[in-house]
Structure 1
């Protein structure tokens, strides 16, 4: 009798396990230097029908923030931790610096692998590669196709004096002359098409587009030659249009593989504001790439999935969300796994916020404290405050955002293809503290630093708390040993230490 009961229990257990729905697949697509303005639903003159449709049928994130530069955004996405924790507070990593995302940091790919996912990366790394331990396939990705540096030619895949394209850890020469956006889409389609839909997959696609150098096949720029007269903007429009088509091809691959699409969460994000000197625009937001004004850090973001609650599809989410939140959101929320073994996270699990519309658990964002960017003189003194306001820093708490150190002269720069007029920022007067109510004043036209003194002091105190916990900046001088033409790497960028 006992053996019959045991067999019955075992049978029920097996049936439950085999009939349970597999964990959702996750596709995370990251565009590079795509301005806030540069998508159809934000007013772009060029077409992004695929992304517009995905966003319209999903959830648009309209209070969503990233970092103002490439490396910091990627580091926080992959670790869920502010850059003051990883030593990446200053600038971006250069190809000849002996530095990378610290190898003792647990990445999202490692945790997703622990959760039973296959993990794939297609596109731009830009988190350092001076030693083998820094490489994507050593940081949790089962496969990698793409480049390691911050930018390169879209066709030749050359960076400065070296070639930069790899499959996993090996140099990949087969795609010389193939436009990268098309190439990355084809690789992603192949990965999806060959994947077993019953096995969970995490696919990270950090596109190269539309970062410089500005370049696009003519069939993507030709439709705009009569409406866009600025050459940079014309090339940029073609790059975004090509990327939009690439996103569509990836979605179609999901739908073609046994309805894999039905069990997939698709996340799209830009990595920082558009560079107005290179075709990208953030109007009506103030500032651009590299700035702590909204134009540098408020991102395009949306989530599309059949798994979203029906009442949420087609809505706008105005809850406060930061790029560091994707780490716990994907691992804990979507994959239903744990973040055990990681260092203390700054990210917040936002899955219920996105999926069901509940309130965000985040009330504050530290954008950065960069002790290597300090003004030498000028500025109002905030007596009694422990934080040095000449240091470049920014923080948001609730509705209020404080910026320190930066000269604060950024203006509102309109795209050349729109009937809009750019407005210059104020001349530098020695001021080093700015305060804005972002909810009431998202375009940052009304500086409240002189009238909301208590708020300024409170936010300076918060910066002081974060500063006390920050690690030293790891921004070493460049090494001649990185030169791929003299270090034995045969003219290819790669580990040299």
Structure 2
């Protein structure tokens, strides 16, 4: 089949219409309702970790990317010895194309998208930028100043000529162009198109026409709503291109966010879940996701089996006829039969992360596993969090005119246990009531930690300054 993989950036659980939001997402809602909605589906709390697991099928602890994102000035990337999804698809006869956000490293030529399996690439390499100017600014240590540069590429070359063009619309047009050219020139070859929108990451920017449907008092939230609706229109345009060219009948569409909505930065929302982007609470990691395809045997239902962003790697490769048994060390599971045939999910547990570089919190317990370390694990219905999970408030969307329920826990607390099947909003800590379950979860964390590779998080490199590379971000 053709594969259309769409990733939204910072799209919150409560920021799509089919989850009850006031934000209008008719195209996304239609695809979700006429497809299969994934309602026990997890991503990572921030960007690079989700994308690295999507592209490799491996947990962060097995790639060295356990800590934070890859910064724009940092000589870091997904390890070259780990095969990426487009590389394997290309080996199996696919035409592979990417539009949008990379954020998996660019400090040397070998780690650029075109050298990691894509036949074409149009997009940006860092984590965020201005939607209209495509410029990124940041504080570079050692330079004692903020440095800025253009971050927009057409294959290997910088595209200097798109100032004023809103990235959501620009990326949709480029994706449509890929589809139409493929249909003309390679109609008998399967297509893999990876569209990673900048939307709806901060800064909150959108053409004014997309604000018209919204009467939301909070100006940041109103902008966010317009950004989501513009992205929804883009999704509709891209899927329409598949239909117009006759490719749709043999296409599988996967849609996912990369993490929860960012309440503070751009008024994303995950209500009624606890927490937001950056956090190990459900609001940071329970993702918006669905699959739509004429190849589904049945559709129009939610799937409640446990699923994770790392599962797309083996699932899509097996759909493509690739032999994944030759790829060792995968943490992802093939979930296609769970999606398409309503079988039980093969995934029974999920390591959210173990981050040894995050500042420790609280005191040790009488257990070999160091609970001061930031980590989280799901086993069956139970979830454990240790260390510092980030702020755990429950924040309703501004248009509800309800008060935020503040995080009730003291800063010294560093262990939580929840039954997230019965308590998805994480209101009742069971760590004292269920000591046997707690010990089992800590034992499992200890076992996972024993398999971890060293965390790779190098210092920023002054040579990365875009001002020294013609005014653009790129390899140095």
Instruction: Indicate the TM-score class for this superposition, using the shorter chain for normalisation.
Output: over 0.9
Structure 2: stretches of 5+ with no match in the other structure: 138-147
Count of residues in Structure 1 that have an aligned counterpart in Structure 2: 462
1:316 aligns with 2:283: no
Q: Does residue 393 in structure 1 map to residue 356 in structure 2?
A: no
Normalised TM-score (structure 1): 0.91
Matched, 1:45 2:22: yes
**Is the counterpart of residue 354 in structure 1 residue 354 in structure 2?**
no
Aligned to 1:494: 474
CA displacement at 1:417 relative to structure 2: 1.0
Correspondence for 1:210: 200
Task: Give 2:295's aligned residue.
Answer: 307
Report if the CA contact (8 A) 2:278-2:390 is conserved. Answer: no
Cα distance in 2 for partners of 1:451, 1:108 equals 43
- Describe the SS at the equivalent of 1:346: coil
Residue 316 of structure 2 corresponds to which residue in structure 1? 330
Contact 1:118 1:202 in 2 (8 A): yes
Deviations 1:46-90 (A, max 9, x none): 200000011000000000000000000000000000010111000
Q: Which residue of 2 aligns with 1:436?
A: 418
* Counterparts of 1:408 and 1:342, CA distance in 2: 35
Pairwise CA distance, 1:345 = 0.2
Task: Select 1:171's aligned residue among 141, 158, 162.
Answer: 158
**Aligned residues of 2:263 and 2:269 also touching (Cα < 8 A):** yes
The reply on whether 1:477 has 2:464 as its aligned counterpart is no
CA contact (8 A) 2:269 2:276 kept: yes
How far off its partner does 1:411 sit? 1.1
2:70 maps to 93
Alpha-carbon separation, structure 2, partners of 1:270 and 1:50: 16
Which of 61, 79, 98 is the aligned partner of 1:102?
A: 79
> Displacement, 1:409?
4.8
Measured after TM superposition, the shift of residue 174 of structure 1 is 2.6
CA spacing shift, 1:317–1:126, aligned 2, 3 Å: same
RMSD (Å), alpha carbons? 1.1
SS of the equivalent of 2:400 reads coil
Superposition deviation, residue 222 in structure 1: 2.0
Tell me what 1:16 maps to.
none
Please tell me whether the aligned partners of residues 374 and 389 of structure 2 are also in contact (alpha carbons under 8 angstroms).
Answer: no
Spell out the pairing of 1:28-39 with structure 2 (5 A cutoff).
Answer: 28-39=5-16
**Contact preservation (8 Å) 2:150, 2:160:** no
User: 1:17-36 to 2 correspondence within 5 Å?
Assistant: 24-36=1-13
Deviation of 1:340 after TM superposition, in Å, equals: 5.0
What is the aligned partner in structure 1 of residue 141 from structure 2?
none
Q: Distance in 2 between matches of 1:409 and 1:275?
A: 12
CA-CA distance at 1:495 after TM superposition: 0.3
The match for 2:136 is: 159
Instruction: Look up the SS of the partner of 1:119 in the other structure.
Output: strand
Aligned residue number for residue 252 of structure 2: 265
Larger CA Rg, structure 1 vs 2: 1
1:201 aligns with 2:191: yes
Tell me how far apart the structure 2 counterparts of residues 174 and 425 of structure 1 sit (CA, whole Å). 46
Q: Secondary structure at the match of 1:417?
A: helix
How far has the Cα of 1:419 moved from its partner? 4.3
User: Structure 2 length normalisation: TM-score?
Assistant: 0.95
Instruction: Give 1:386 shift.
Output: 1.8
C-alpha displacement of 1:408: 6.3
Cα shift readout 1:75-113 (whole Å, capped 9, x = no counterpart): 000000001011100000101001111111100001110
Q: 2:218 aligns with which of 207, 224, 230?
A: 230
- 1:378-416 alpha-carbon deviations (Å, 9 max, x no partner): 33x421x22100000000000000000016651100110
Work out which of the residue numbers 286, 307, 325 in structure 2 matches 1:298. 286
